[in-house]
Amino acid sequence: MKSNFAQFISDMNDQELEQYAEQCVTTRRYISEQLVPGKKVPRQELMSRLIENSKGQVARDDLLDHFYPEGRFRSAQSA
């Protein structure tokens, strides 16, 4: 199941994603190739811009769930 953040990004066309990335002071490629698959975790400043420029469609908790999924912590606790 896609996170709310991943769904928000996948619902955009190329032009919308390009504009969103520009507003967030990053690139479309960084969002789609690094952030959506969770390869990189953005710094606080970029997280704030991702939230702010989503116009209410992505909340702080959405990003935390995307980058730090609950399942990851359950398996670490049981180890």
Q: What is the Cα–Cα distance from 58 to 3, expressed in whole angstroms?
A: 10
pTM here is 0.86
CB–CB of 34/27 below 8 Å? no
The CA-atom distances, in angstroms, between 44 and each of 64, 71, 79 are 11, 22, 29
- Residue 70: predicted pLDDT: 82
The reply to whether 75 falls in a domain is: no
Which of 39, 33, 42 is closest to 62 using CA atoms? 42
Predicted confidence at residue 58, as pLDDT, reads: 97
**34 within some domain:** yes
In the chain, how many domains are there? 1
Task: Tell me the pLDDT tens digit for each residue of 44-56.
Answer: 999 999 999 999 9
Range of the domain at 21: 4-68
Residue 65: pLDDT band with limits 50, 70, 90? very high
Q: Which residue has the higher pLDDT, 71 or 38?
A: 38
Residue 39 counted as domain residue: yes
User: 10 Å Cβ neighbour count for 53?
Assistant: 16
In a domain, 76, yes or no: no
In a domain, 79, yes or no: no
